Structure 1
Amino acid sequence: MSKTHMNVLFICTGNSARSIIAEALMNQLGGGRFRAYSAGSQPAGFVNPKAMELLERNRFRTGELRSKNWDEFAAPDAPQMDFVLTVCDKAAGEVCPVWPGQPMSAHWGVEDPAGATGTPEQINKAFHDAFMVLQRRIALFLNLPFEKLEKLSLLKELQSIGKVTAE
């Protein structure tokens, strides 16, 4: 993994909130070392307005964010992924396409804020909580000593990060 940057694909079913937030976080916090993408098995076809609002409020770039099908990243001309991370339990259980290059994969389940109900404050809190969990996990990911870890050790670290909460 001595390339100039590593590619990371975040997957959830609808690709409207969690994976979109993760893509924006990784692209901005990764400092050019990582290029993040997101996709869904059954994409909603739009980015959740609450996710966009949260990212923009926190000064994350949103111009390139769009809901897309994961087949886009299994195509022969797609960027080769180094990591594929599922952020919803439903996508983790689905049969994924075969990713070119056999990227390392792990499950980082996050509660779906797009499914939140209740008052506007409760819905905003659900988006904030998902953002915080993903931000914490991505920060841990970015601090891994990739060049020093063997593949099995790296996989264990990725799986371990998937269990971290925002606290």
Structure 2
Amino acid sequence: MTVNVLFLCDDNARLGPMAEAYLNADDGRSIRAFSAGLSPAPALAEGVARVLAAHGLVAEGLQPKSWQLFALPHAPVPDVVVGLSAAALAATRRVWPTHARLLDWCVGPHTTRLVGRDALRDAFHELRRRINLALEEGAFRPVALRQIA
């Protein structure tokens, strides 16, 4: 069974796409990562592709998208939803399936202002640290579905 992880942020131009690229980099896991934002930017933020490339990851195929796409009936159903900003998870909490595990990481108070190589690099390192820890602790496993008797 593949576990779908959705990373939510404000504009889906920085944090979400970096987390998505990092988690999807290892094909050996049965985890598929996606990212979305509350108000998607028109394109990835400048520097995101460079930060990913510096870590052997590609930005190809990454683009900002709305969280509302994942609420559609034909969309991948998230098993785990990770809020990367203070507002992201709070604004969408009631939309996700009852079986979804909700994680509120809030990786920085001003995520839409992450500009410059150092800020993006530092944000990527924090995301990588949290993702690795979540993998070790099993936090990306979905909440067990309740059995109906």
Bucket of the pairwise TM-score, normalised by the shorter protein = 0.7 to 0.9
2:136 to 123, 133, 143: 143
Unaligned 5+ residue runs, structure 2?
145-149
Q: Does 1:126 align with 2:119?
A: yes
The size of the alignment, in residue pairs, is 142
Question: Are 1:79 and 2:72 an aligned pair?
Answer: no
Deviation at 1:98, TM superposition (A): 1.3
Match of 2:16 among 10, 15, 19: 19
Q: TM-score, normalised by structure 2?
A: 0.84
Segments of structure 1 that go 5 or more residues without pairing to the other structure are: 118-122, 153-167
Aligned equivalent of 1:92: 89
In 1, Cα distance between the equivalents of 2:74 and 2:85? 26
Q: Does 1:50 align with 2:47?
A: yes
Letter paired with 1:79: P
Cα distance per residue 1:26-77 (max 9 Å; x no partner): 1114633210000001101211121111102211122121100001001000
The share of aligned pairs that are identical, in percent, is 32
Query: Given residue 57 of structure 2, which amino acid in structure 1 is its aligned partner?
Result: F
Contact residue 71 and residue 97 of structure 1 kept, 8 A: no
Partner Cα distance (1:39, 1:129) in 2: 21
- Quick one: structure 1 residues 62 and 101, their matched pair in 2 at CA, closer, same or farther if it must change by over 3 Å? farther
Question: What value does the CA root-mean-square deviation take over the aligned residues?
Answer: 2.4
Q: Does structure 1 residue 38 correspond to structure 2 residue 35?
A: yes
CA distance in 2, matches of 1:63, 1:82: 24
